[in-house]
Chain A
């Protein structure tokens, strides 16, 4: 920990390499269809980043991150859907000016909670505020009463189940199982064109890189150290005079906010939002992205997300039968053999060589972002 330089030389190189990959190499190597897919994967990486802080550092495993991804995505989708259902565009409906699925469900007026989403400013605030409010309430209720670990995981999972059932059940208000589809423009700007997809991809990529820097900053501050300390010895942190619950609530809200940004970018790039990204199964998948990449490594989480999704796409295109086998084996393998994921493998096998190369250059290098040192190791 040296002063304000929270990005040391190695972190910077790692970040630049990742930036080079997602901003330059991938857009040059793939056509817009594939790039759009990659953009979709990168929105999951936001969630994985949040999980690195929440689960990796602070030791709080949330199995409900899909909820916050979904809430962010749904907020965005509600705005876009309202714009797509202007009275002119929907004049064939029995009630023009409301989203099509509401019309199909015999709803004749826009529900109250939809109305503020006419405003883009409100929507952008809501994307962060709604999930953070939800997490704050959950966090307050649970962490103040010292519910943690396994119980917390199960309750967050139950919340994911509740939200999915609610969305699917309240078809008239939420679009049901199909979700909110047929989104067209953002303030008059058509998001379905190839050009728009490129622009959105780059916005997404820069937001992601910004989030990595933000996360690294949080990890570098005293707050980040307390999070790790909480994971290792919660009572000692408490006895030292810190209110453990507040820190837990903070990191849980922070992770939810990141997930929500990812969700909103998902909606923009993919053009719809549905409950299949909210429920239990997608929520656990989000955790596995983080676990494969390495739960202690921000960059690892991004690479893990990209790799697992690339593998998923490849497998399900060519051998749909094998995908679940591969995924199951991946879960078990990562947990049993590589608890620190890709970053752990990198740390033990690749990094020594890189270190030797770096030593040839002038300047010292400290512990890296791609390989955050475990808390037990003194720095």
Chain B
């Protein structure tokens, strides 16, 4: 049982599955996943738009939009995929550019957003992902750009309607340059004006499927300044401004920090950050390059010390006990009961990515309750004994005292509880 292989599937991936062999060459296994992922099936933009419109008029129509079917497909991959690194890496970017079902219009479009705006670009250039996200109906809804008007635009009625700054503010602060970018409130206001007219619709003839639509009638006329640069009027001004932000050195630093915080430590070492940042700068924001750099960083192979999120833990436990398709529905419910419902982060900053977000008393107690209940079933049905489960899940990474206690547990059930709830199982 190779410690390095278990480290790779636990830290970079989503945890070992008893029915999937551990990679013989962990680095190679990781590098092989750095490729453009195959497209995922699901409702297309026309369907999402139609359902979104119908739900707006009648909130009782498909109350959860396309969420249930999209969620099952998405969680099925987390549970079963042999490419755990690809899926974890994808989830990181979904969280970086998060949308939440807590906002109207996201239940219908959320699955489409993650499948088509984020996932195809996770190993491509950040600016392509960023642009796709910012033009997607889920994001335009979530951060209120659909309600934004240039006060000087024709639809703005001489300033009666104004720009909504939500998308501009969050995108500067969270998605791109961050406060380190040194922008001021006037830059927020200006980016909001640059993005006026970025909206949702069905094209000039009303024939195309619903999707991004630039509504010139709402767009603030004239060139605008953003962080010392000038951007022209029109849709292309917005594209240029977002590309400028995506390529900004402070954005690269932000992305490097996101990656290192997720994969290395809550407070990642400066050397690792510098290497990731340098690889992003040199490659023009190529996330595949950043992933290759990450895998090669010695810091990423230090003992597991990241605390698993509620989702990480639920997924790792279900994978660990070999749950198949039948585990998808329980996983979806579990995420709700764990207070980390899928695609429903409480705020645009996304789910926390550091330990204090995941070690509150109730969070830990719910993990314990859940594996206690699971273990009753495992005691009756699971093909392995508890010590074998420890071996499969953590192998040489499990401390001697855990192996001993699990081997001496008074019953199979208590043995499984110890095997699934010992502190090492909360690490990745």
Please indicate whether A and B come from the same complex rather than being unrelated chains.
no
